[in-house]
Amino acid sequence: MSGLKIVAGPLVTPISRTEARTHLNLDDDVDDSLVRSYLQAATDWAEKYTGRFFINRTCQMAIDGAREIDDILWEGMRTGYSMTRYVDHIELAATPVVSVESIKYYNDSDVQSTWETSNYYVDTFSEPARIVLRQGGTYPTDLRVSNGIEINFTVGYGTSPANVPEAIKVAIFQYITYLYEHRGDEEQSIQPPKAIRSLLDPYRVLRFNSTPYDTTYRTGII
């Protein structure tokens, strides 16, 4: 089993509580705790919808292992041409990637080693970013049965809300407004309107596989 966890989270949100209150035309501390909750909920939803983290944070991704694949093994019927004939990379499970600090691996005795940077190249031009095996490079071997490779990296648009694209911030503003205006409406859907999704769609990253840790299939921006 593999996964992604946040080691150090952001200290700010893409828009501040004060900005959210101003947008809602609220005076003093009216509904302050509610605004805080809606701000966090709207930000979390927008990050999940786009598949991106907006403010920088440190992440740790673990995978069971990696190997080169010259040709994908296939069972059953093909329904279309497969563009992927050779896999020599590991796709990172979060975007946009700022940097990769280290890649560690563990043997079956849980002894940690560092994968030398001469074996790989960090491709941050692609989205999602990739750890690409260099010519002559080799993947770590003799790994433990689960979470044998650990990748530590920083992801986000920057440390300041000013680094976040305006369309994303507008979408968060609008979703906060939608949640606030429909608070207490039991029959009202909390799903954001299509206009909000339209603002975020250009930034959305889709993964055409069952898990972001399976690097067999193509991924990319819509």
Q: Note the pLDDT tens digit of each residue in 84-94.
A: 445 689 999 99
8 Å CB contact between 171 and 200 = yes
Chain-centre distance for alpha carbon 67:
23
User: How many structural domains does the chain have?
Assistant: 1
All residues at 6 or more sequence positions from 74 whose CB lies less than 8 Å from its CB, including other chains: none
Asked if residues 142 and 108 have their Cβ atoms less than 8 Å apart, the reply is yes
pTM of the model: 0.80
- The per-residue pLDDT for 28 is 77
- The mean pLDDT of 194-217, rounded to a whole number, is 73
Is residue 71 in a domain? Answer: yes
The confidence score (pLDDT) of residue 77 equals: 52
In a domain, 118, yes or no: yes
Predicted local distance difference test score (pLDDT) of residue 68: 67
Range of 13's domain?
Answer: 3-217
Q: What pLDDT is attached to residue 15?
A: 96
Does any domain span residue 77? Answer: yes
Say whether pLDDT at 3 is over 80.
Answer: yes
Residue 101: inside a domain: yes
Let me know: does 119 contact 134? Beta carbons within 8 Å.
Answer: yes
For residue 74, the one-letter residue type is W
In a domain, 208, yes or no: yes
pLDDT at residue 214 in the model: 47
Residue range 167-186, pLDDT digits in tens: 999 999 999 999 999 887 76
In a domain, 185, yes or no: yes
Examine the pLDDT at 67 and tell me if it is beyond 80. Answer: no
Q: Region of 158 please: left (phi>0), alpha (psi -120 to 50) or beta.
A: left
Establish if 222 belongs to a structural domain. Answer: no
Question: For the residues 41-47, what does the mean pLDDT come to?
Answer: 96
Q: How confident is the model at residue 125 (pLDDT cuts 50, 70, 90)?
A: very high
CA separation for the pair 218, 86 (Å, rounded): 11
- For residues 38-44, give the mean pLDDT: 95
Q: Are strands 97-106 and 112-114 parallel, antiparallel or unpaired?
A: antiparallel
User: What is the arithmetic mean of pLDDT over 78-99?
Assistant: 73
Residue 6 has pLDDT above 60, yes or no: yes
Q: Is the pLDDT of residue 205 over 60?
A: yes
Cβ atoms within 10 A of the Cβ of 7, count?
11
pLDDT score for 208: 60
Asked whether residue 105 is assigned to any structural domain, the reply reads yes
The whole-number average pLDDT for the span 72-90 is 57
Instruction: Tell me the average pLDDT of the chain.
Output: 85
pLDDT at 210: 45
